[in-house]
């Protein structure tokens, strides 16, 4: 049984995935930043002019955590799902499975690269937001912690989607039809406290609410739900994704056939 960590193999896969992002820099970085800028122009100007504050925070500053989370969710899933799906599509997945690298090392490399790209994008969006509005980060440690946890969790989720998918169309189904709508309905651009009691109760069944709420708390010290509950939900989702990935590699689900 091999116990030595294959750092050369992990670094090779990680470097390859990061190089692919640099080759598509316009799609990977510039486009999301332009999209985020448009959100500030549209939402900040159109809605912000009519809604001065939310929970004591200016509306323009209030939507910053939601915008970062929206980009983090979508980019983490896209980067990780495409990263593992492409070897399946080209048939090079068998070289990966037969290489002297464990499943843990392979997941670490792919998910690590996807999370790195997503976190870099999140920080760029944060810097872009500073050009439009003034904001504060009351709990920088927890901001970084939520950023790391969320990027890693959704990169794992994207990795699962990449293994599950049989075609490029399926790569888009879950992000477009499930994750993006849940993000918009999860308090990215509003507080769920603004909703009627019935719809607020319904919103609490949306897991994205807890992720965005916890991240927003790290900025302004206010949240729609308990920070402890937000952290617990994030860690719970992370553990579920880890268990699913472990099962996929153990059974060879859509990896060896």
**Tens digit of pLDDT for each residue in 3-36?**
578 888 899 999 988 888 777 777 667 777 787 7
Highest mean pLDDT, choosing among 63-77, 90-104, 164-178? 63-77
Q: Would you say residue 123 has pLDDT above 60? A: yes
Look at residue 257 and tell me if it is in a domain. no
pLDDT of amino acid 44 = 66
pLDDT of amino acid 257 = 60
pLDDT of amino acid 119 = 93
257 vs 91: CA distance, rounded Å: 11
Backbone angles phi, psi at 57, to 5 degrees: -115, 135
Confidence of residue 1 (pLDDT cuts 50, 70, 90): very low
Question: What is the greatest pairwise CA distance in the chain?
Answer: 64
Q: Would you say residue 196 has pLDDT above 70? A: yes
| pTM score of the predicted model | 0.90
**Helix axes 227-251 and 140-164, enclosed angle (nearest 10):** 30
Look at residue 195 and tell me if it is in a domain. yes
The whole domain housing 141 covers: 7-251
Number of domains in the chain: 1
Residues near 65 by beta carbon (within 8 Å), at least 6 away in sequence: 212, 215, 216, 218, 219
Residue given tokens 């996807």 in the structure block: 114
Task: Identify the residue with better confidence: 233 or 38.
Answer: 233
Q: Which of 98, 75, 101, 76 is nearest to 12 (CA)?
A: 101
Look at residue 2 and tell me if it is in a domain. no
């Amino acid at each position: 049984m091999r116990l030595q960590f294959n750092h050369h193999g992990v670094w090779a896969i990680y470097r390859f995935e990061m190089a692919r992002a640099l080759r598509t820099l316009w799609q990977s970085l510039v486009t999301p930043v332009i999209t985020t800028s448009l959100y500030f122009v549209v939402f900040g100007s159109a809605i912000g002019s009519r809604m001065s504050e939310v929970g004591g925070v200016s509306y323009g500053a209030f939507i910053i955590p939601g915008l970062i989370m929206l980009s983090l969710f979508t980019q983490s899933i896209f980067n990780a799902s495409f990263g593992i799906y492409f070897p399946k599509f080209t048939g090079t997945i068998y070289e990966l499975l037969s290489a002297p690298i464990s499943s843990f090392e392979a997941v670490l490399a792919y998910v690590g690269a996807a999370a790195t790209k997503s976190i870099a994008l999140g920080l760029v969006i944060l810097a872009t937001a500073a050009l439009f509005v003034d904001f504060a980060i009351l709990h920088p440690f927890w901001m970084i912690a939520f950023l790391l946890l969320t990027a890693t969790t959704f990169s794992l989720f994207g990795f699962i989607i990449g293994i599950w998918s049989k075609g490029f169309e399926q790569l888009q189904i879950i992000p477009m039809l499930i994750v993006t709508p849940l993000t918009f309905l999860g308090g990215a651009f509003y507080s769920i406290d603004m909703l009627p009691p019935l719809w607020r109760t319904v919103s609490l069944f949306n897991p994205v609410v807890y992720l965005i709420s916890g991240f927003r708390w790290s900025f302004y010290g206010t949240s729609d739900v308990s920070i402890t509950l937000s952290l617990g939900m994030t860690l719970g989702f992370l553990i579920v994704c880890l268990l699913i990935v472990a099962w996929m590699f153990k059974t060879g689900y859509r990896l060896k056939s």
